[in-house]
Amino acid sequence: MRILVAEDDAISRTLLERTLQRAGYEVIAVEDGAQAIVELVKQDAPRLALLDWIMPGKDGVEVCREVRRRKEQAYTYLILLSSKESKGDIVAGLESGADDYLTKPFDVDELKARLRTGHRILELEDHLVEARESMRFQATHDLLTSLWNRGVIVELMSHEIMRSRRERSCTAVMMCDIDNFKSVNDQYGHAVGDDVLREVARRLHHSVRSYDMVGRYGGEEFLVALNKCNPESAVSRAENLRAKIGGCAIQTANKPVTVTISIGLALSTEFTQCTVEELMHQADIALYAAKAAGRNCVRVAQPSGVSKPAEEQPKETSVLAP
């Protein structure tokens, strides 16, 4: 574990440094408060700090305040070092954000014991942060595929569409549906169906750019938003996604299964007055047209209400090729 020691007196500093090194710490020693702050707000800063109360420039209390002010940092356990006369100031020290204090000259066993308390608090903090992050992930992602869940993808798309209107760029919204998915479940069972959903999600996710968005809309339906998309290339990019899914069999627990997807595409530039819900509805209408045209193809939503065939007309492939 790394620990910061801020102490202006060279003898105290050396003594602390040596004692802590013997106790197995990696010590970063500095001579004043300003340097302590620099070290403590760094990325990957030490999580434990021993701060002398009285130092030239910024004192220990000011360091505590500054570190606490920057709340985005992971918690740092701060121990103030004070001489025995200044006990009256301890309340002020703790109120500045220190977790504990130690009287100089320190007793080695007491120092170690108090640092162990610090370890316990930091461990607790880490567990809480971990639990919070895991809950945050669960609240925003689909459990099976780890894609954005429906609520989040719609929300993100809504922001993206507003932004693309401001910036006069285009967002392409794609409603993608696995063709005849029910028969996969019926024929191979739900475990294989889940494998297929996971793999389709993975392929979609890996086939778009990092600033595009992929979410699970429901069942076997996925939403893809291509941000800052060139309207002319939207169809070919949709075709590319379609080829990524149908072009290669999915290795499931039991056997390889090939599935295809149909895609309904709507461009925000074609529906300039539409909300995200209306745009999704347009993509959905185009998806129905793709299904009606024989599946495994892309259809584009038109303001006139007619989905024109995508540039290349795929021939329908057998859904459950072994």
Partner 1 sequence: MERLGGDHEFLRELLVMFREDVRMNLEKSRTAIAKGDYEGLSRAAHTMKGMLRNLSMGTAAETAAALEKASKESLQGESKELLEGLTKELEGILPEVEAQLADAKP
108 versus 292: smaller Cβ distance to partner 1: 108
Q: How far is the CB of 63 from partner 1 (least distance, A)?
A: 17
Work out which of 72, 85, 167, 232 binds partner 1, going by CB under 8 A: 85
Q: How far is the CB of 117 from partner 1 (least distance, A)?
A: 20
Work out which of 74, 108, 129, 191 binds partner 1, going by CB under 8 A: 108
- Measured CA to CA, the distance from residue 234 to residue 174 in angstroms comes to 10
Q: How far is the CB of 54 from partner 1 (least distance, A)?
A: 6
54 versus 162: smaller Cβ distance to partner 1: 54
Residue from 220, 239, 278, 316 carrying the catalytic annotation: 220
Q: How far is the CB of 53 from partner 1 (least distance, A)?
A: 10
By C-alpha distance, which of 195, 209, 214 is closest to 259? 195
Question: What DSSP character marks residue 272?
Answer: T
By C-alpha distance, which of 112, 59, 51, 106 is closest to 77? 51
Work out which of 87, 92, 105, 247 binds partner 1, going by CB under 8 A: 105
Which residues between 2 and 41 bind partner 1 (CB under 8 A)?
8-12, 14-15, 18-19, 22
Which residues between 279 and 318 bind partner 1 (CB under 8 A)?
none
Is residue 104 near partner 1 by the rule CB under 8 A?
yes
| Alpha helix ranges (H) inside the chain | 10-22, 33-40, 60-69, 90-95, 108-140, 150-166, 181-188, 190-207, 231-246, 276-292
10 versus 292: smaller Cβ distance to partner 1: 10
15 versus 249: smaller Cβ distance to partner 1: 15
Q: How far is the CB of 106 from partner 1 (least distance, A)?
A: 8
Q: How far is the CB of 36 from partner 1 (least distance, A)?
A: 17
Q: How far is the CB of 105 from partner 1 (least distance, A)?
A: 4
Return the residue matching tokens 């001489």: 83
**What is the rounded radius of gyration, in angstroms, for the C-alpha atoms of the chain?**
30
Is residue 189 near partner 1 by the rule CB under 8 A?
no
18 versus 127: smaller Cβ distance to partner 1: 18
Work out which of 26, 56, 132, 306 binds partner 1, going by CB under 8 A: 56
83 versus 254: smaller Cβ distance to partner 1: 83
Whether 6 and 35 have beta carbons less than 8 Å apart is answered as yes
* Cis omega (within 30 of 0) for bond into 303: no
Q: Can you say how many angstroms the Cα of residue 164 is from the centroid of all Cα atoms in its chain?
A: 23
Q: First and final CA of the chain: distance in angstroms?
A: 55
> What are the residues whose beta carbons fall under 8 Å from the beta carbon of 222, sequence distance 6 or more?
147, 175, 176, 177, 200, 201, 204, 214, 215, 216, 261
What's the sign of the alpha-carbon dihedral 206, 208, 214, 219? negative
Report residue 275 as tokens: 């909300």
b/e code 284-304 from CB counts within 10 Å (16+ = b): bbbbebbbebebbbbbbbbee
15 versus 34: smaller Cβ distance to partner 1: 15
Q: Tell me, yes or no, if 220 is annotated catalytic.
A: yes
What's the sign of the alpha-carbon dihedral 9, 14, 19, 21? positive
Is residue 62 near partner 1 by the rule CB under 8 A?
no
- Measured CA to CA, the distance from residue 190 to residue 201 in angstroms comes to 16
Q: Annotated active-site positions, please?
A: 220
Name the site residues for partner 1 (rule: CB under 8 A).
8-12, 14-15, 18-19, 22, 54, 56, 83, 85, 104-106, 108
